Amino acid sequence: MLELEARAEPSRLMSCLSPLLAVALMLAGGLLVFSALGKDPGEGFRVFFLNPIKDLYGISELLLKATPLMLCAIGLAIGFRANIWNIGAEGQFMLGAVAATGIALHFDASDGALLLPAMVVAGALGGAAWAAIPALLRTRFNANEILVSLMLVYVAQLFVSWLVFGPWMDPDGFNFPQTRMFGDAALLPALLDGTRLHLGFALAITVLVAGHAFMNRSHAGFRMRVAGQAPDAARYAGFSAARTVWTGLLLGGAAAGLAGMAEVAGPMGQLTDKVGSGYGFAAIIVAFVGRLNAFGIFLASLLMALLYIGGEQAQQYLNLPSSISMVFQGMLLFFLLGADVLINYRLRLRRRAG
pLDDT at 83 over 60: yes
| C-alpha torsion sign, points 45, 335, 209, 139 | positive
What is the rounded distance in angstroms from the CA atom of residue 3 to the CA atom of residue 47?
A: 39
* CA angle (308, 213, 10) in 5-degree steps: 75
Higher pLDDT: 133 or 112? It is: 133
Amino acid at 4: L
What is the rounded distance in angstroms from the CA atom of residue 16 to the CA atom of residue 34?
A: 29
**Phi/psi at 83 (5° precision):** 60, 35
- Residue 71: is it exposed, middle or buried by C-beta count within 10 angstroms (0-12/13-18/19+)? buried
How confident is the model over 113-156, as pLDDT tens digits? 999 999 999 999 999 999 999 999 999 999 999 999 999 999 99
* pLDDT recorded at residue 1: 75
What is the rounded distance in angstroms from the CA atom of residue 23 to the CA atom of residue 296?
A: 13
Q: What's the farthest any 2 CA atoms get from each other in the chain?
A: 85
- Residue 109: is it exposed, middle or buried by C-beta count within 10 angstroms (0-12/13-18/19+)? exposed
pTM exceeds 0.75, yes or no: yes
Q: Residues 6 or more apart from 142 whose CB is under 8 A from it?
A: none
How confident is the model over 151-200, as pLDDT tens digits? 999 999 999 999 999 999 999 999 999 999 999 999 999 999 999 999 99
pLDDT range class, residue 229, cuts 50, 70, 90: confident
Average pLDDT of span 228-247? 88
Beta carbons of 149 and 88 less than 8 angstroms apart: yes
Beta carbons of 93 and 68 less than 8 angstroms apart: yes
User: Of 123, 104, 117, nearest to 253 (Cα)?
Assistant: 123
Question: What percent of the chain is predicted at pLDDT more than 70?
Answer: 99
* pLDDT recorded at residue 204: 98
By residue count, the chain amounts to: 354
- The overall average pLDDT reported for the chain is 94
What is the rounded distance in angstroms from the CA atom of residue 128 to the CA atom of residue 310?
A: 32
What is the rounded distance in angstroms from the CA atom of residue 159 to the CA atom of residue 92?
A: 12
What residue ranges define each of the domains in the chain, with the CATH number in brackets?
A: 2-349 (1.10.3470)
pLDDT range class, residue 100, cuts 50, 70, 90: very high
Sort residue 99 into left (φ over 0), alpha (ψ -120 to 50) or beta: alpha
* Structural Rg of the chain based on CA atoms: 22
How confident is the model over 13-54, as pLDDT tens digits? 999 999 999 999 999 999 999 999 999 999 999 999 999 999
